[in-house]
Structure 1
Amino acid sequence: MKLKEIKDNAKKYIELCKLLYTDSRTPKITKILLWITIGYALSPIDLIPDFIPIIGHLDDMVILPVLLYIAIKSVPKEVYIENYVKILKK
């Protein structure tokens, strides 16, 4: 996978998360998980400090996608598909 593809996919998932967050049919737990993900990403406090080589950054690369995966899986399928289609049309 090329770096440009990764960047484009990341933009799509960020846009999808925005749409899911603003959708009134999205469960509260999903919105809470999205806030936790944003908070963890922006927080200077990590579970494993970044100054520890490799492992320090690896926890961010594992925890953030897992939180997003759980948040997106908690959305009803029809809400997810409807918002995903909006992203593809852009």
Structure 2
Amino acid sequence: MIDRIKKWARKLKGKIFVLYYAYKDPRTPWYAKVFAICVVAYAFSPVDLIPDFIPILGYLDDVILVPLGVAIALKMIPPDVVQENEEKAEQRIKNGKPKNWLAGSFIILLWIAAFLWVSLIIYRYMVD
């Protein structure tokens, strides 16, 4: 079962470039564009929301969150747009995956904010 999930995840992660081109297509609905942009930005981010060194949970985003986001986004986009952009995506895959440092920076800021929030709670608890 785990092998099936990994195959499914790999297949859907390959569709990220289809989303990348589909969100630029004017035939894609605005809500699908917004969702696709979020999925693509996170997938291309060099920083994970859940770091890989955390046992089990670290791979949750790679195996479940990103592929699930891709699957949902593909359902929102018209089939003819998806089909048309698959060829562009195949060419782009040959050139390698780009990095999205803007999304990576956002995730780093989320971790800093969470750390500061927890630190503040601990500080208030210790002072009282």
Give the structure-1-normalised TM-score: 0.63
1:78 is matched with 80
What are structure 2's unaligned runs of at least 5 residues? 1-9, 92-128
What are structure 1's unaligned runs of at least 5 residues? 1-5
C-alpha distance in 2 between matches for 1:28 and 1:62: 25
C-alpha distance in 2 between matches for 1:45 and 1:89: 24
CA-based RMSD = 3.3
Bigger radius of gyration: 2
**Counterpart code for 1:64:** V
Provide Cα deviations, 1:15-44, integer angstroms capped at 9, x if missing partner.
Answer: 322221221001111211122213434274
**Counterpart code for 2:69:** L
Q: Identical aligned pairs, as a percentage?
A: 36
Is 1:34 aligned to residue 36 of structure 2?
A: yes
C-alpha distance in 1 between matches for 2:89 and 2:47: 34
Most deviating of 49-58 and 15-24: 49-58
Residue 68 of structure 1 and its aligned partner are, at CA, apart by 0.8
Given that 1:33 and 1:68 are in contact with CA atoms closer than 8 Å, whether structure 2 keeps it comes out as: no
Residue 45 of structure 1 and its aligned partner are, at CA, apart by 6.4
Given that 1:34 and 1:68 are in contact with CA atoms closer than 8 Å, whether structure 2 keeps it comes out as: yes
Give the structure-2-normalised TM-score: 0.48
C-alpha distance in 2 between matches for 1:89 and 1:60: 21
**Counterpart code for 1:58:** L
Q: Please point out which of 58, 61, 68 is paired with 1:59.
A: 61
Q: Please point out which of 15, 18, 21 is paired with 2:17.
A: 15
Equivalent residue of 2:73, what SS? helix
Given that 2:39 and 2:69 are in contact with CA atoms closer than 8 Å, whether structure 1 keeps it comes out as: yes
- Aligned residues between the structures: 81
